[in-house]
């Protein structure tokens, strides 16, 4: 990969932190945009410039893409705060960035959506992401749309559940998927920066069932393997109840999780990080 000038939006998030590390490792010039400059330490002044901006406020982005070859955006909200909606952030904020990229003649825009986003547009989180995907495809810029199969950081939820001594699953627990570590995903993204238009569905090296992930979580905490399998109708009822009686802020992430966890979801395997090692690291660091 040739060295390039990259604007990184979402640098303080889980994936953004790994992207920043890999981009600098490969000697790219990076402009990281952050809401709060104190949230990011600059140990690489030769390669990194930190600019204060808010992607939800287009006036703060003016001319931010000048001299930039590639924009990478991991901007999105999983758990809503600040009163902002998915449409405000996952769609509109990324659109604000795309408009600046077009004005500045940026060559390539990389956007991180989610696995099977195009198949589940009815889910609130994915509706906003995929609306932006449509805008990006129509923009005339070279694009890469990345669809990761869940992050290792999301798998901490199983560890949290396992602390009580048992894990609750809907259905048989045989549903399989392959979540990916942020470092592996960052390396895959940076490796594609020279390529033309593509959509990249990607997962980690281990395809695991929900039962196997639950077992890993319990064993890492030295708990006996106890799993409670709830009938699938209770999953559907939970989604209906949350959609009916709670705000999108509450039900959005749960709706997404419960829908995608109900079916096999296996993406092309990539990377060297294993969930078992990640769990051990999390538990060691928390003790």
pLDDT at res. 278? 96
Return per-residue pLDDT of the chain as tens, 287 residues.
566 899 999 888 889 999 999 999 999 999 999 888 777 777 767 899 989 899 999 999 999 999 999 999 999 876 556 678 889 999 999 999 999 999 999 999 999 998 888 888 888 889 999 999 999 999 999 999 999 998 998 899 999 999 999 999 999 999 999 999 999 999 999 998 877 788 999 999 999 999 999 999 999 999 999 999 999 999 999 989 988 888 887 778 788 888 887 888 899 999 999 999 999 999 998 85
In a domain, 14, yes or no: yes
| Any domain includes 91 | yes
CATH code of residue 86: 3.40.50.720
* Burial class of residue 272 in the structure, from the number of CB atoms within 10 Å of its CB (0-12 exposed, 13-18 middle, 19+ buried): exposed
Q: Quickly list DSSP for 201-228.
A: EEB-S--EEHHHHHHHHHHHTT----EE
Query: Domain for residue 286, yes or no?
Result: no
Residue 256 domain-assigned?
A: no
**Domain presence at residue 235:** no
Q: Which residues are bridge partners to 33 per DSSP?
A: 9, 51
Backbone phi, psi, residue 231, to 5° = -65, 150
Q: What is the per-residue pLDDT for 147?
A: 94
Cβ 193 vs Cβ 143: under 8 Å:
no
Number of domains the chain is built from: 1
Residue 25 lies in a domain: yes
User: Cα torsion for 107, 111, 115, 121, to the nearest 10°?
Assistant: -100
Q: Is residue 105 part of a domain?
A: yes
The range of the structural domain enclosing residue 87 comes to 5-150+179-202
Instruction: Please report whether residue 183 resides in a domain.
Output: yes
Phi-psi region for residue 5, left (φ > 0), alpha (ψ -120 to 50) or beta?
Answer: beta
């Amino acid at each position: 990969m040739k060295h390039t000038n990259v604007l990184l939006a979402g640098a303080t998030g889980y994936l953004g932190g790994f992207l920043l590390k890999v981009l600098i490792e490969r000697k790219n010039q990076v402009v990281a945009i952050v809401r709060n400059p104190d949230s990011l330490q600059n140990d690489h002044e030769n390669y990194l410039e930190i600019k204060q901006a808010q992607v939800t406020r287009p006036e703060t982005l003016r001319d931010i893409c000048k001299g930039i070859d590639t924009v990478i955006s991991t901007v999105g909200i999983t758990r809503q705060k600040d009163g902002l909606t998915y449409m405000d952030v996952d769609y509109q904020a990324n659109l604000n960035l795309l408009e600046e990229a077009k004005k500045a003649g940026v060559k390539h825009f990389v956007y991180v959506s989610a696995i099977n986003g195009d198949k589940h547009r009815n889910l609130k989180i994915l509706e906003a992401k995929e609306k932006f995907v449509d805008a990006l495809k129509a923009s005339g810029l070279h694009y890469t749309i990345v669809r990761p199969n869940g992050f290792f950081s999301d798998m901490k939820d199983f560890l949290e559940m396992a602390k009580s001594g048992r894990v609750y699953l809907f259905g048989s627990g045989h549903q399989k998927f392959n979540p990916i570590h942020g470092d592996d995903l960052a390396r895959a993204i940076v490796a594609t920066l020279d390529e033309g238009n593509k959509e990249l569905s990607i997962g980690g090296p281990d395809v695991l069932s929900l039962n196997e992930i639950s077992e890993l979580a319990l064993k890492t905490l030295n708990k006996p393997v106890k799993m409670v399998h709830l009938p699938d109708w209770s999953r559907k009822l939970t989604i209906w109840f949350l959609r009916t009686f709670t705000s999108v802020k509450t039900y959005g992430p749960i709706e997404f999780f419960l829908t995608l966890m109900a079916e096999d979801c296996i993406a092309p395997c990539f990377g060297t990080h294993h969930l078992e090692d990640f769990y051990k690291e999390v538990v060691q660091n928390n003790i």
